[in-house]
A and B are shown apart, each in its own frame.
Chain A
């Protein structure tokens, strides 16, 4: 099967992860702009991070035959540093219109502070102006209220729920998010978010419509193979292949291709994946073990 992981932070992952994802059938992924585990203190750090998302990381991914897209946004945690947030807001329009940017995100609430609210609203307006989908990060703490409040604010600004993905949903928030018409995303992330057995139960309860599965794998203990592994468990527990495909490929594709920046032809025809660029002569696969047995021997490395 082919999969899309619509939420994964590849800047924190290794080439082993890329290899494993490609081998497991991941053909495309979306890397939302987020925080890096510790707060940035300079706007230049954001600029370089955004440039990495549309440049180096996209290239790194392509070398493994996986098509890389991203979302652009100021995350809620770092929105609390207001002078910095102002500078990032000035930077955003420059990146939001780049090729392969499929949404404004991940935005929303962390502590639900006044500053978070301010920049959340400004970014909703930016998404509306550019006619881009929105990816919402729902908070870990006070999740239910944070999730409902996010939807209230989106609706106050006149957003169309079919252009919004509400992520990190759980058993407590799923019903309301679905009922209000949003794409409802679940993150299979051990410990803090969903487990894949719980995800199977949710599928049995709600069916496949508007449900999206992602990994949100990042710098924490997480699994970039969450999407294919959850798909395998779903199949094993009797969910039809058509339904599994919807939640691990098609729904994410339908939601994000509304940006006009994502097209199946990108990975099906793969015109930009040049085998010569893929397997030889670059710093990622540097004289790599993938090139040939010969090089392996020549490097005197025993695998």
Chain B
């Protein structure tokens, strides 16, 4: 069981919810039965509520040790309760037990499960599950894996990582919110994104200004041609993005700022 998470939930849950959760944790540890784990996991919203939790700065820094980037998203009581229950499973069998749960989970359960994988002691064992999860078309579930979650950057190999990033672009997700997006850029990804930009142009479809972020640092001749064309014909935001690649300037806005502008434009 994750001690940091356990300690903080104990501090933040009202007494009745705490008693319920402690009862379930004790039962899991004294006599582990998959069925009682599934029922407890399912019942978390009912007994713990679904309100977002607010942590102090000190609490957040302890959580960040266990889970980098913890403070970037909102966490609700049922979500953290479910994750704590999952961390209480014996690691020898948790892949099998959680696979069954993943196979029957509802929307909100899937989000909690994928957000929480990083907390598990044998987190690397869940790479196949994460890759399966990324095949979803439910935006909220995809976001739970791809955005702000430290799991993919740490555990996915280059091909799996590239597929996730590409799919995020296809789904028009805010790319700048992918944790460690900058560190894991690579030449292969840049090349695929160039193909993608050309495909979009042929179809008279817009190309996200955030795409050029993945070309930045990998400017081949082919990339230069595409960048120059965009500088001539692109929208103002696209021009700012390609300019940033073609003529690096310390004063230029950051990719995160460009990403936020793209996100705002899409939401509007």
Is B106 engaged at the interface, CB distance under 8 Å to the other chain?
A: yes
Q: Are B138 and A275 in contact, CB atoms less than 8 angstroms apart?
A: no
Per the bound structure, the CA–CA distance linking A51 and B41 in Å amounts to: 16
Q: Are A94 and B104 in contact, CB atoms less than 8 angstroms apart?
A: yes
Q: Are A55 and B38 in contact, CB atoms less than 8 angstroms apart?
A: no
Binary CB contact string for chain B from 170 to 213 against chain A (1 if under 8 A, 0 otherwise): 11110000000000000000000000000000011110000000
Residues in B whose Cβ lies below 8 Å from that of A275: 267
Is A284 engaged at the interface, CB distance under 8 Å to the other chain?
A: yes
Partner of A277 from B104, B108, B110, B139 at Cβ < 8 Å: B139
Per the bound structure, the CA–CA distance linking A294 and B110 in Å amounts to: 34
Compute the total of residue contacts between A and B using a CB distance below 8 Å. 74
Is B248 engaged at the interface, CB distance under 8 Å to the other chain?
A: no
- Nearest to A294 among chain B residues (CB) is B206
Residues in A whose Cβ lies below 8 Å from that of B43: 97
Interface centre among A51, A260, A275, A276 (most CB of B within 10 A): A276
Per the bound structure, the CA–CA distance linking A95 and B267 in Å amounts to: 34
- Nearest to B266 among chain A residues (CB) is A280
Q: Are B206 and A56 in contact, CB atoms less than 8 angstroms apart?
A: no
Query: How many A residues are at the interface, by size bracket?
Result: 20 to 34
Q: Are B205 and A55 in contact, CB atoms less than 8 angstroms apart?
A: no
Per the bound structure, the CA–CA distance linking A99 and B46 in Å amounts to: 9
Q: Are B139 and A282 in contact, CB atoms less than 8 angstroms apart?
A: yes
Binary CB contact string for chain A from 194 to 209 against chain B (1 if under 8 A, 0 otherwise): 0000000000000000
Is A118 engaged at the interface, CB distance under 8 Å to the other chain?
A: no
Q: Are A59 and B140 in contact, CB atoms less than 8 angstroms apart?
A: yes
Q: Which of B75-123 contact A (CB under 8 A)?
A: 103-110
- Nearest to B46 among chain A residues (CB) is A260
Is B49 engaged at the interface, CB distance under 8 Å to the other chain?
A: no
Partner of B106 from A47, A98, A287, A294 at Cβ < 8 Å: A98
Per the bound structure, the CA–CA distance linking A38 and B198 in Å amounts to: 45
Interface centre among A94, A298, A300 (most CB of B within 10 A): A94
Per the bound structure, the CA–CA distance linking A214 and B91 in Å amounts to: 48
Residues in B whose Cβ lies below 8 Å from that of A58: 106-107
Known A-B contacts A281-B172, A287-B205, A299-B204; the reply to A55 vs B105 at CB < 8 A is: yes
- Nearest to A261 among chain B residues (CB) is B46
Minimum C-beta distance from B120 to chain A (A)? 22
Q: Are A100 and B267 in contact, CB atoms less than 8 angstroms apart?
A: no
Q: Are B139 and A300 in contact, CB atoms less than 8 angstroms apart?
A: no
Minimum C-beta distance from A62 to chain B (A)? 9
Is A236 engaged at the interface, CB distance under 8 Å to the other chain?
A: no
- Nearest to A275 among chain B residues (CB) is B267
Q: Are B267 and A283 in contact, CB atoms less than 8 angstroms apart?
A: no
Q: Are A55 and B107 in contact, CB atoms less than 8 angstroms apart?
A: yes
- Nearest to A95 among chain B residues (CB) is B104
- Nearest to B100 among chain A residues (CB) is A94
Per the bound structure, the CA–CA distance linking A297 and B205 in Å amounts to: 9
Is B234 engaged at the interface, CB distance under 8 Å to the other chain?
A: no
Q: Are A97 and B106 in contact, CB atoms less than 8 angstroms apart?
A: no
Per the bound structure, the CA–CA distance linking A157 and B135 in Å amounts to: 45
Q: Which of A244-303 contact B (CB under 8 A)?
A: 260, 275-277, 280-284, 287, 294-295, 297-300
Residues in A whose Cβ lies below 8 Å from that of B173: 281
Residues in B whose Cβ lies below 8 Å from that of A280: 172, 266-267
Is B233 engaged at the interface, CB distance under 8 Å to the other chain?
A: no
Residues in B whose Cβ lies below 8 Å from that of A54: 105-107
Q: A interface vs B, CB < 8 Å? A: 47, 50-51, 54-56, 58-59, 94-95, 97-100, 260, 275-277, 280-284, 287, 294-295, 297-300
Known: A51-B103, A94-B38, A287-B205. 16 other contacts (CB 8 A): A51-B104, A51-B106, A55-B106, A58-B106, A59-B138, A59-B139, A97-B39, A99-B45, A99-B108, A276-B266, A280-B267, A281-B170, A283-B137, A283-B171, A294-B206, A298-B206
